[in-house]
Amino acid sequence: MAIASWIRTFPLVQYLIAWAQEIFMSVLKTGPVPQHVAFVMDGNRRFARRRKLEVREGHSAGFESLAHILEMCYQVGIKVVTVYAFSIENFKRPTVEVDALMEIARTKLLQIIHHGDLADRFGISIRVLGQRSMIPADVLAAIDKSTEMTKDNTTAILNICFPYTSRDDIATSMREVVTLSEKHELEPETIDERMLEQHMYTKDCPPLDILVRTSGVERLSDFMLWQSHQDCTVEFVDCLWPEFEPWRFGSILLKWSHNKAIEFRKTEMERDQKEL
Amino acid sequence: MGAKRTKSHSSLITRVKDFLVVNLVPLGTSPAYKPTNLFQLAIFHIYHTVLIFLHILLSIYYLFSRQYYIAKNNFLAFLYHHHRTPQLIAQDIKGLAKTPQHVGIILKYKENEEGGGVEGLMEQVADVASWSVGSCVKTLTVYERSGKLNKMHEATYKVINRTLKSYYGETIPTVKLRTPHDKTVYPEGMTAEPVVVDLNISFISHDDGRGFLVELTREFAYKAAKGEFEPSKVTVDNVDRLANQLVITEPDLVVLFGPKLDLDGFPPWQVRLSEIYYAPHNDSVTYNVFLRGIRRFSKCKINIGR
């Protein structure tokens, strides 16, 4: 809608929108708030194709959208945000695109740790999850630098899954546990779900509360399979990632908070009944 | 004297404050936002009122949207009724680009409702089996969290055959049941010769999800502790092969017959690329939901990574 985006260029409107967003986040904070949210950032290439842009610019627009969403998440007090930046299967894409993605990753990682940018404002500790051996050296350097510089931040955590597939995660965790058994550092009888979880890439993170996938695809595509298969709200959103507006995410949060409040109400009533 | 009075005065205020904060702050409030003094408490309650108001608005919206979806489901159920004729089912899937080979369904055990209990589950399985045969689905995986049907092969087989007879008359398609967890197959004679059946049905439960992966890790760990197993052999491909052999292969489509998207513990490893379909606010196992799932599958584009 051309008129809406024209009105949005007025400075006062921007300020009002930002203020309204903050108020909404404060309102949400007085109720249940998820602790761990995951995003599958799908639809950048389709976005670029629709607007007749280059694929690289689609990915850039995707990053802008990510920055907005991260801001919202940390404003509302979500502790851990996990984003699916790159899949191990994505290496099959044309080299030009893979190189462009690596370049974006490198520059943006170094950008968000600057003084005053995202990592500083919200006290984010950045972690990159995935198979390190598949990343080229310069991106690896940027990753190490950003992880190193933010490791003392304790307020929130940003997990960037790069490159990651859930099956690889589970298999790596299993392999580590088996290696520890081989060295007799743990007893095979003690192996249970918790132990496997403690060896996955998301080891210190609270259980996943919401998983959001954009672009209308209704699959999990090898992301967070272990974490999302029970007690997790999976939301499939029918718009492309660069068009994933803050109000959509706000409505998802409101819905989740409503459902959780109903659950708490039920447990309260059951507890009161038991006391009777 | 003055100091003691102010001390008891301030402790009263702190006690009132603590009382208010503990009792008036609802369960589930984000701990970062718990108010610590009276002013924050007032602001908190203003915001909380707004939140409750928004929740009420949401409930009203759900009231209407629920009615809409239930009406839509009923209408589609009426429009796409199978009438127990396989020809209608074949007609419904005729124009589709592709149909799934392996479909998974998630059923909920309902204890005290009409059409519930174990017999209800068997009826549901029989219905879905008939539709699957009609839509050229080769493998059906039935997931029920507690695994009530895992040991009831004989009774389920009878119910399935009875339902198939009502669809196909005397020459019914052949069905084979198995429960991977107990390694049982029904009818037993089938394991001897590799007979090609029309439909393979597997019954899985919550233990076949994470529990299977834990079991596998434990097996590997025992062998490794004895020195008979190389940990580097635990690769994605090996685990995949074992998961496919010992539990189920990957379903192309998973149909949920519940009101919301809740995977309820369906095996995580196998659901990697499965299209997940559910009809909002739907509560029963009906043909139109199954058909819509197949239609959704036929429209989706799968590019693994590219």
* Per-residue pLDDT of chain B in tens (306 residues, 90 and over written 9): 444 555 555 677 777 767 666 666 665 665 556 667 777 778 888 888 898 899 999 999 999 999 999 998 888 888 888 777 888 888 888 888 888 899 999 998 887 777 678 888 888 999 999 889 888 889 999 999 888 888 888 888 899 988 888 888 888 888 888 888 888 888 776 554 556 788 889 999 988 888 898 988 988 888 888 888 888 888 889 889 988 888 888 999 999 988 888 888 899 898 888 899 988 888 888 888 998 899 888 888 776 655
Q: Which of B210, B272, B296 comes nearest A193 by C-beta?
A: B210
- For residue A112, pLDDT over 90 is answered with no
Residues 234-263, chain A: which have Cβ within 8 Å of B?
Answer: 234-236, 254-255, 257-258, 260-261
A-chain CB neighbours of B268 within 8 Å are 166, 170, 225-226, 228-229
Whole-model pTM: value is 0.86
What are A178-220's pLDDT values in tens digits? 888 888 888 888 888 888 888 888 888 899 999 999 888 888 8
Rounded Cα distance between A223 and A80, Å, is 16
- Residue of A178, A193, A175, A275 whose CA lies nearest to A230: A193
pLDDT at residue A80 in the model: 93
- For residue A101, pLDDT over 90 is answered with no
pLDDT at residue A57 in the model: 87
Rounded Cα distance between B64 and B57, Å, is 11
Rounded Cα distance between A122 and A154, Å, is 10
pLDDT at residue A184 in the model: 83
- DSSP helix/strand/coil, B296: helix
> Are A174 and B54 a contacting pair at CB < 8 A?
no
**Where do we find the tokens 């993170």?**
A205
- DSSP helix/strand/coil, B106: strand
Q: Is B214 on the interface with A (CB under 8 A)?
A: yes
Residues 18-77, chain A: which have Cβ within 8 Å of B?
Answer: 26-33, 76-77
ipTM of the complex: 0.84
pLDDT at residue B2 in the model: 47
pLDDT at residue B253 in the model: 92
pLDDT at residue B8 in the model: 56
A229 backbone dihedrals φ, ψ, rounded to 5°: -85, -5
Q: Is A233 on the interface with B (CB under 8 A)?
A: yes
Q: Which long-range contacts (CB under 8 A, 24 or more apart) does A112-121 make?
A: A112/A67, A112/A146, A113/A145, A113/A146, A113/A149, A113/A150, A118/A67, A118/A70, A118/A71, A119/A146, A119/A149, A119/A150, A119/A153, A119/A158, A121/A74
For chain A, the distance separating the N- and C-terminal CA atoms, rounded to the nearest angstrom, is 58
Say which range, A2-11, A90-99, B196-205, B259-268, has the weakest mean pLDDT: A2-11
> Are A90 and B47 a contacting pair at CB < 8 A?
no
User: Do the Cβ atoms of A153 and A173 come closer than 8 Å?
Assistant: no
B-chain CB neighbours of A80 within 8 Å are none
CA–chain centroid gap for A70, Å, is 8
> Are B272 and A189 a contacting pair at CB < 8 A?
no
pLDDT at residue B1 in the model: 47
Runs of H (alpha helix) within chain A: 2-7, 11-29, 44-50, 55-76, 95-112, 118-122, 137-150, 166-182, 193-198, 225-228, 246-275
Q: Which of A77, A91, A191 comes nearest B221 by C-beta?
A: A191
Q: Is B79 on the interface with A (CB under 8 A)?
A: no
- For residue A39, pLDDT over 90 is answered with yes
> Are B28 and A31 a contacting pair at CB < 8 A?
yes
The amino acid present at A138, given as its one-letter code, is D
User: Do the Cβ atoms of B302 and B252 come closer than 8 Å?
Assistant: no
Rounded Cα distance between B264 and A233, Å, is 11
> Are A230 and B218 a contacting pair at CB < 8 A?
no
Residues 83-102, chain B: which have Cβ within 8 Å of A?
Answer: none
The four Cα atoms B9, B11, B15, B21 give a dihedral, to 10 degrees, of 100
- Residue of A224, A85, A240, A205 whose CA lies nearest to A167: A224
What are B204-246's pLDDT values in tens digits? 998 888 889 898 898 888 888 888 888 888 888 988 998 888 8
Report in angstroms the alpha-carbon separations of A91 from A87, A100, A161, B104, B238: 7, 12, 14, 30, 21
pLDDT at residue B15 in the model: 76
- DSSP helix/strand/coil, A126: strand
The amino acid present at A228, given as its one-letter code, is S
Q: Count how many residues are written for chain A.
A: 276
CA–chain centroid gap for B39, Å, is 46
> Are A170 and B29 a contacting pair at CB < 8 A?
no
